[in-house]
A and B are shown apart, each in its own frame.
Chain A
Amino acid sequence: MDFPADSVGLVQPQVFSQDEPFTLQCGITLPTYQLSYETYGELNATASNAVLICHALSGHHHAAGYHSAEETKPGWWDACIGPGKAIDTNKFFVVSVNNLGGCHGSTGPRSRDPETGKLYGPKFPNVVVEDWVRSQAQLADRLGIERFAAIIGGSLGGMQALQWSIDFPERVHAAVVIASAAKLSAQNIAFNEIARQAITSDPEFLAGRYFEEARNPDRGLALARMIGHVTYLSDDGMREKFGRELKSGDIATAAGVEFQVESYLNYQGRAFSQRFDANTYVLMTKALDYFDPARAYNDNLVAALSRAQASFMVMSFTTDWRFSVERSKEIVDALVAAGKRVSSAVIDSDHGHDSFLLPLDRYVQVCGGYMDRVYEEFTCATI
């Protein structure tokens, strides 16, 4: 089986085990934890070419390449990660982690609590972005990475990149914050709450203990995903993709009518409910809602960011209404006010929030241009 020439090819997930206790921001201590991660490219002798990829709400560590020759779809950000791509694995050593609380191998609700021997389930403590960043830093320690050339993320991943620049200023050379926000708007929290309600009100949810009865809140998860999915697309994008096309039936006789968009959403919802854990979804959306680095600084984002030493690249997409261009501008303005190096690009796209996952020409060029500079400025300077 041949993989595309610009693919990182076959990749193998790895596990980082932290055997020491880890106290979360909520005060609860995990006696041990594990993180699933993948790496692409080679770490150089001075460990100055490391790039950390932070995933979004429903993401995971499999960002590029293929797990097997049979896998038809590569990792979620294969558009930008690979040899010769914007995040060039010939130059960079890319680390991609599944966050704590996740359901793709990292310690989370589906893991066993070593103290009770039982699965955590809904008892898994609330994690926040700061916890993710600190656990990622422990992984970096293990890998021998003192300072990342860049930390990159879209959406919730962008929030992690921002938090890194505040919590570990000396460990980030560049932070790339894509389609993100310094905090969620009320509207955004509202969508998350509707998604959570969809899950928790499913009779199969069983107050989060569905796994003990070998059941799963499929319908709730599917509904949560459908709501999310609509907000990740734009009106124009949906019109272009589906219009009013019918999948089946006849409107004239109103018999068996199913619009393409209905069929698509139902399919997406069903597929999601098979691969994602309901407790993780509830937990991750809460981490999104609670993110607000300015809060500890009297709601002053400029003061929060003044700790940062990184250069920043902030990108947004014209039709993204879930994480709008305005939210990115708030970040840029605060960084300018704090006197930080920051560049921004507003990418024309019909694809709404989902744009950050797509291989859009200008987007890829901006990422590539910026990363080339990071390489010259940081990696080459330390070799």
Chain B
Amino acid sequence: MRDDLNYIAQLVNRDARVLDLGCGEGDLLAWLQHNKNVNGYGLDVDPDNINICLRKGVSVIEQDLDAGLDNFPDNSFDMVVMTETLQSVKAPDHLVREMLRIAEECIITFPNFGHWQCRAHLLVHGRMPVSGHLPHAWYDTPNIHLCTLRDFERLCADLGVHIIQRRVLGTGRTQSFLTDRFPNLLGSVAFYRLGRAAA
């Protein structure tokens, strides 16, 4: 399992109810089901991903995140997870609010557009960054809402969302004292554990 998923897996309690938005091939949920007896559901719209989940025995529901999550009642889950999907939804702000309506805690990961390589690419070439991590051209990218760590933290502040924990991984998905010291510059993937603001 991917390192970042592994890290998320450690944060989920045994027997929890988990909703995974944009669950992809269902690796996280499959692991959680087997190792933590989690009652998990993944949402995805990609037919291939859905078939892979079915063959793994992962509960996968075909649902478009942009169509909303109205069908999930308040507090119906213990944890809502969304890995590297935030940047491709139409209304990330609304979705973050929805995630914290459905569960008290959520985990969100996304690629950091403030990473020095993105900045350097724009500075040197004067063109939108294209990299291994963000491989699409500007006109056909599914990543329509890229942001930096600072942008995201500003959104959390605006929404009154409590950041319980932040973890930033550098190139090669590793954590070091440098990524801790300069997260918005050296971090390529950001990981946030969010909760509702104390009343």
Contacts and interface: CB of A to CB of B under 8 A. Distances in A.
Interface string A349-383: 00000000000001001100110110001000000
Contacts of A372: 55
B6 interface: no
B35 interface: no
Contact of B57 (A339, A342, A377): A377
B51 interface: yes
B156 interface: no
A344 B76 contact: no
B51 A365 contact: yes
B71 interface: yes
Contacts of A377: 57
A182 interface: no
B59 A342 contact: yes
B71 A366 contact: no
A362 B61 contact: no
B50 A341 contact: no
Nearest to B54: A369
Of A343, A345, A373, the most chain B CB neighbours within 10 A belong to A343
A343 B55 contact: no
A344 to B, nearest CB: 5
A362 B47 contact: yes
Contacts of B53: 343
Interface of B: 17, 39, 41, 47, 50-51, 53-63, 71-73, 76
Interface of A: 311, 313, 329, 332-333, 336-337, 339, 341-346, 362, 365-366, 369-370, 372-373, 377
6 contacts: A337-B76, A341-B59, A344-B61, A366-B54, A370-B54, A372-B55
A-B interface, 9 closest residue pairs, ranked by CB to CB distance from nearest? A369-B54, A369-B51, A346-B62, A333-B71, A344-B61, A370-B54, A343-B60, A345-B62, A369-B55
